[in-house]
């Protein structure tokens, strides 16, 4: 199995894997090229690298089990820039990849998936949740997660917390805005007072917003809908101003190992979406195999972003193999096989509708706790008790 990384230099395990051929499949296996464009540098680099690790682990596992075909990953860094994401897809298409397992950030996934559609390539992602993405009539676009799933999870946690007022701080980017509006409507219907604080993605000083929350809103909880850098800025401002809230609740890219390791002073008691506890504890044979492969390849614990990358790639690689067996890879067979997918995975059931959306998606919520991540919602998935009230300061 070969991993080729294009674009900006990436340190660590990625650079190592870019020059080392790891072949677990039979030498006679037919090599199939699969592309990926991800933000390996720039504001979304933490998320992009985690997703790429999951993609690599999926290829490793596929190649170890399938002696007929061997997946070769070609990866290009889009540097968290939409134009470079499009250019990456076009370059990958010219290199004869058969499909793409890609994308983090709806503003990147949107144009990149259009470029893939023009090239006749399947594009599967876990990093684009803007509801508009599945309304464009693309025949080759698939995603394993979506806003309705995140909305249900975040609302479910707030229901357990039983707070009566929430200050909702959200980025004005497409996906955060979409989720923020849906959360406002759902919480308001449930009798919760919601005060909205949209912010421009370019801002770095969140103290004026936090000051309004503290002096005007006087809410019981703060909901954060944005990305890693946004969360860091909001939490830093909150730690300085110390609003009298009972909980800090975020969503994607927050309850992750990397955030716990990089910002240990900001994360204690913070809630976020988490499919896995940390340290990880897999209970199924498939999960154990994934965790073992991940640790072998990267000497690290997987987080949910790696798990997403693994699942989307696993589904794609299996669809590619079925299409290859039928001789339909070049005539729409990969998309056709993906549409037939209906199975239990490491993130739960995946079943695509006619728009390529996983209608079964429902994530769990976790909480940072003493350097660990504990799954706290839903109750049947909990791996430990939640701390509430609880904030980082």
Q: How many other C-beta atoms are found inside a 10 Å radius of the C-beta of residue 379?
A: 8
Nearest to 276 by CA among 262, 264, 290, 263: 290
pLDDT class of 10 with cuts at 50, 70, 90 = very low
Per-residue pLDDT at 11 exceeds 50:
no
SS (H, E, C) 190-219: CCCEEEEEEECCCCCCCHHHHHHHHHHHCC
Mean pLDDT of the region 384-390: 95
Per-residue pLDDT at 90 exceeds 50:
yes
Taking only the tens place, the pLDDT of each residue in 41-75 is 998 998 999 999 999 999 999 999 999 999 999 99
Concatenated DSSP letters of 122-137:
EEEESS---GGGGGS-
pLDDT at 322: 98
Taking only the tens place, the pLDDT of each residue in 102-149 is 999 999 999 999 999 999 999 999 999 888 999 999 999 999 999 999
pLDDT class of 284 with cuts at 50, 70, 90 = confident
Distance CA 18, CA 342 (A): 33
pLDDT at 27: 54
Distance CA 155, CA 152 (A): 5
Nearest to 304 by CA among 280, 338, 271, 269: 280
Predicted structure pTM score: 0.81
Mean pLDDT of the region 286-312: 92
- Asked if 102 and 37 touch (Cβ cutoff 8 Å), the reply is yes
Distance CA 307, CA 253 (A): 12
pLDDT class of 352 with cuts at 50, 70, 90 = very high
Backbone angles phi, psi at 216, to 5 degrees: -105, -55
Provide the mean pLDDT of the chain: 91
Q: How do 3-6 and 30-38 pair as beta strands? A: unpaired
344: part of which helix (H) or strand (E)? Answer: strand 342-345
Per-residue pLDDT at 6 exceeds 80:
no
pLDDT at 279: 87
Nearest to 312 by CA among 85, 67, 118, 73: 73
C-alpha distance from residue 231 to each of 228, 271, 332 (Å): 5, 11, 40
How many residues belong to the chain?
393
pLDDT class of 158 with cuts at 50, 70, 90 = very high
What structural domains does the chain harbor?
A: 3-146+282-351 (3.40.50.2300), 148-279+365-381 (3.40.50.2300)
| Secondary structure of residue 80 in the 3-state scheme | coil
Taking only the tens place, the pLDDT of each residue in 248-282 is 999 988 998 889 999 999 999 999 999 888 888 78
Taking only the tens place, the pLDDT of each residue in 232-253 is 999 999 999 999 999 999 998 8
pLDDT at 21: 42
């Amino acid at each position: 199995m070969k991993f080729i990384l294009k674009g900006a230099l990436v340190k660590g395990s990625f650079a190592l894997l870019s020059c080392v051929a790891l072949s677990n499949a039979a030498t006679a296996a037919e090599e199939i090229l699969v592309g990926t464009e991800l933000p390996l540098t720039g504001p979304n680099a933490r998320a992009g690298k985690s997703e790429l690790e999951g993609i690599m682990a999926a290829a490793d596992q596929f190649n170890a089990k399938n002696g007929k075909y061997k997946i070769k990953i070609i990866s290009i860094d889009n540097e968290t820039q939409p134009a470079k994401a499009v250019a990456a897809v076009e370059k990958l298409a010219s290199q004869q990849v058969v499909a793409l397992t890609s994308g983090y950030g709806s503003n990147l996934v949107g144009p990149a998936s259009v470029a893939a559609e023009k090239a006749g390539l399947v594009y599967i992602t876990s990093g684009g949740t803007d509801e508009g993405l599945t309304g464009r009539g693309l025949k080759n676009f698939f995603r394993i997660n979506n806003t309705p799933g995140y909305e249900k999870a975040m609302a479910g946690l707030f229901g357990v917390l039983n707070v009566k007022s929430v200050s909702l701080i959200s980025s004005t980017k497409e996906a955060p805005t979409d989720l923020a509006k849906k959360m406002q409507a759902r919480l308001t219907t449930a009798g919760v007072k919601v005060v909205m604080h949209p912010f421009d993605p370019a801002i770095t000083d969140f103290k004026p917003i936090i000051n309004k929350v503290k002096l005007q809103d006087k809410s019981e909880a703060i909901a954060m809908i944005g990305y890693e850098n946004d969360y860091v800025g909001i939490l830093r401002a909150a730690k300085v101003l110390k609003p009298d809230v009972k909980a800090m609740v975020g969503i994607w890219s927050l309850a992750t190992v990397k955030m716990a390791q990089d910002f240990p002073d900001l994360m204690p008691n913070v809630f976020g979406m988490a499919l896995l506890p940390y340290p990880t504890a897999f209970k199924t044979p498939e999960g154990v195999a994934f965790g073992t492969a991940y640790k072998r390849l990267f000497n690290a614990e997987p987080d949910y972003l790696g798990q997403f990358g693994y699942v989307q790639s696993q589904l794609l690689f299996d669809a590619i193999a079925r299409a290859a067996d039928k001789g339909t890879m070049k005539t729409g067979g990969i998309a056709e096989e993906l549409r037939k997918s209906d199975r239990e995975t490491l993130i739960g059931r995946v079943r695509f509708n006619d728009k390529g959306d996983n209608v079964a998606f429902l994530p769990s919520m976790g909480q940072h706790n003493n350097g660990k991540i504990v799954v706290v919602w839903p109750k049947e998935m909990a791996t430990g008790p939640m701390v509430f009230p609880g904030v980082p300061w």
